[in-house]
Structure 1
Amino acid sequence: MELTGKRIIITGGASGIAASAVRGLVAGGARVASIDVATDAGAQVVATANAAGGAGLATFHTASVVDRPGFFAAVDAAVQVMGGLDGLIHAAGVQQYKPAEDLDDDDWDRVMGINARGTMIANQAVFPHLKANGGGRIVNFASAAGLVGLPGAPHYSASKGAVLGWTRALAQAWAQHGITVNAVAPAMWTAMYDATRGRLSPDELVAHDAMMARAIPLGGRLGDPDIDMTPVLAFLVGDGARFITGQTLPVDGGTAMTR
C-alpha cells in the first residue's frame, strides 16, 4: 500500500469517487495529477487535498477525455510536472437512464463516446509514458451494468461492457511492457446518487431502499468512497498489484455476486 513517490493521473477528479481518490492518494504520499472538464470544482478538490497536509501533492489540469489532442496535451503536461508516470485511474464517465426504445443516436454517441472511446483515448495517452517508465498500472472504471446489464440504461451498459473487453485485450497486449490493466466495478454513495434519491417520491424512495437492502449483502446500501473504494484503488496502482492484470474487481458489497 506504499504510495510515496508514486506518480498517478486520475481522470474525473472533480467529483465523486475520483475526488475521493485524489484526496486519499495524496494523503498516502502520491503525486497526483487530476484531469477533468470541471475546472473550478477540480481545482477545489486539489486545493483541499494539498491543504490536508498529506505526504503527497496534487495538481489540476483541464481537459476532456473526448478531446484527443487536448487530453494528450494535458497528460503530457501532467507527466512533465510530476517527472514521470506510474499509473492511471480512469474514472471519468457519464451515466444516463433512458429506455432502449426511446434512445436516439445522440444519446448513444454521447454515452459511448465518453465512456468507451474516452477510455481508449485516456489509456492511449498514458501508454508511451508508462512504457518509458518500464511499466505501470492502469485502472479503468467499469460497472456491474457492463457485467449483467441495466435495463433502464442499455447504452450505458453497452459502454461499460466495451470498457471490460478493452481492458482485457489491453492487459494481454501491454503486459510485455510491464503495464497492468484492470477494471473496477464500484457501487458507491456519491453526490450524484444523492441527486438521484432527491428525484424520488417518498414511496419510491422506500421501495428503492428496500431493493438496495436485498441487493447488497454487506450492509444493504452503497459503499463509502473514502473507506471502501479509495483503498482498493491505492492497492491496484501500487507495487502490491504487480502480478494482477486483466481482472474486473466489483467493489459493491457483494451485489454482482448475487446476480
Structure 2
Amino acid sequence: MSDRELQGRRIIVTGGASGMGEGLVRALPRRGASIISLDLNEDGGERIAQESGAAFIKVDVTDKASVTNAVDQAVARLGGLDVLIHAAGIAPGAKAEDISLEQWHQAMAVNATGTFLTNQAVFPHLKDRGGAILNFASAAGVKGYPNKAAYAAAKGAVVAWTRSIAVEWGCHNIRVNGIAPAIWTPMYDKTRASMTPEELEAHDAALKAAIPLGGKLGDIARDFVPVVAFFASEGAHFITGQIIPVDGGTLMMR
C-alpha cells in the first residue's frame, strides 16, 4: 500500500495520549489522514497532537454527554467523519476472587461502556455516507485472561458488541471491526521494570513459546500502524465483523 493510503480520510482516535493510540496519532497524519485525538489526559493529549499535526479534544469515554460533545466537536473540525479508531482502555489486574465491585465497574465503564458510547456517538455522522469503526478488542475477550478477569469480561463485551453492530449497521455501509493487539508500549516497559530478574526470565520464556513470529510483543510503528491504516482505508471496504489479531500468531481466530 502507498504511505499516503489515508489521504483525505477524517479520523477520530480515542486514547490518543498514550500507548498504541499515541502511536496512531503520531503516524496516521503522515499517511495523509486528518486526525482528532480524544483522551482524558489533556496535557499529554495536547502535546502529542501538536507534535503530530493533529488536534486534541478532552473526553471522558464513560460519560455520554462528554462523548457526544467531543465527537460532535471533532466532526465539525474535520468537516465530516470517515473513521473512528477507539483505542481508549484500561487493564486493571487482580485475582478473580479479589476484584472489588469498584474495579469491576471501572473496567466495564472504560472498556465496554466507552466502546458503546463512542460507537453510538459517531453513528449519526456515518449513517448517510458510510465509514469505518475500529474498536480495540483483545485476546483476553476471546480466551480469557487469568488475574485480569474484569478486563477480559469487558473486552468480551466489546467483541460481541462489535460483531452485533457490524450486522445492524452494514445496511448503512458502516463496517465495524475489532483489533486484538499484542504490542510493546511504554506501559509494558513499566510492567517489565517492575519484575524481578527471575520473573522477567519466566515472562520472556512464556512469550517466546506463545508468539510464533519473533517470540515477543510487536512494534507499534512496524507491526501495528500499517494494519490499522489498512483497516481505516477504502481498501478494507468489504471487511466487517472481524476480530483481527495483530499479535505474531498468538490468537488464531476461527
Aligned to 1:257: 252
User: 2:99 maps to which residue?
Assistant: 103
The answer to whether the aligner puts 1:211 opposite 2:214 as a matched pair is no
Which secondary structure does the structure 1 equivalent of 2:252 belong to? Answer: helix
Per-residue deviation, residues 162-182 of structure 1 (Å, max 9, x unmatched): 000000000000001010000
Residue by residue over 1:87-140, the C-alpha shift from the partner in whole angstroms, topping out at 9 and shown as x without a partner, is: 1000000001100010121111000111001100010010000113x1000000
Are 2:12 and 1:4 aligned? no
* Matched residue, 1:157: 152
**What is residue 90 of structure 2 aligned with on the other side?**
94
Instruction: Tell me the equivalent position of 2:79.
Output: 83
Once residues 73 and 166 of structure 1 are traced to their aligned partners in structure 2, the CA distance between those partners, rounded to angstroms, is 22
Aligned to 1:61: 57
Show the 5 A alignment for 1:19-168.
Answer: 19-50=22-53, 58-132=54-128, 134-168=129-163
Cα offset, 1:159, TM superposition: 0.5
Q: Which amino acid aligns with 1:190?
A: T
Ranges of 4+ aligned residues in structure 1 off by more than 4 Å = none
* 2: CA distance, partners of 1:105 / 1:36: 25
Q: Percent identity?
A: 52
Q: Which residue of 2 aligns with 1:190?
A: 185
Residue in structure 1 matching 2:195, options 172, 183, 200: 200
For 2:172 and 2:250, the matched residues in 1 are separated by 34
Q: CA RMSD in A?
A: 1.2
Residue 198 (structure 1) shift: 1.1
Partner of 1:234: 229
CA-CA distance at 1:242 after TM superposition? 0.4
SS at match of 1:108: helix
In 2, Cα distance between equivalents of 1:222 and 1:81: 35
Report the CA distance between 1:152 and its aligned residue: 1.1
When the two structures are aligned, how many residues end up with a matched partner?
Answer: 251
Q: CA deviation at 1:64?
A: 1.0
* Partner Cα distance (2:251, 2:228) in 1: 19
Amino acid aligned to 1:230: V
- Where does structure 1 lack aligned partners over 5 or more consecutive residues? 51-57
In the alignment, the residues of structure 2 paired with residue 96 and residue 70 of structure 1 have an alpha-carbon distance, to the nearest angstrom, of 23
1:55 counterpart residue number? none
Amino acid at match of 2:25: V
What is the Cα deviation at residue 257 of structure 1?
Answer: 2.6
Structure 2's unaligned 5+ residue stretches are none
Shift of 1:256: 1.1
2:17 is aligned to 14
Partner residue in 1 for 2:173 = 178
Normalising by structure 2, what TM-score? 0.97
Q: TM-score if structure 1 supplies the norm length?
A: 0.95
What CA distance in whole angstroms lies between the structure 2 residues aligned with 1:240 and 1:24?
A: 18
Question: 2-side partners of 1:169 and 1:215: how far apart?
Answer: 30
Partners of 1:202 and 1:59 lie apart in 2 by 41
Query: Which residue matches 1:54?
Result: none
Post-superposition offset of 1:187: 0.2
Q: Distance in 2 between matches of 1:26 and 1:97?
A: 34
Secondary structure of 1:5's counterpart equals: coil
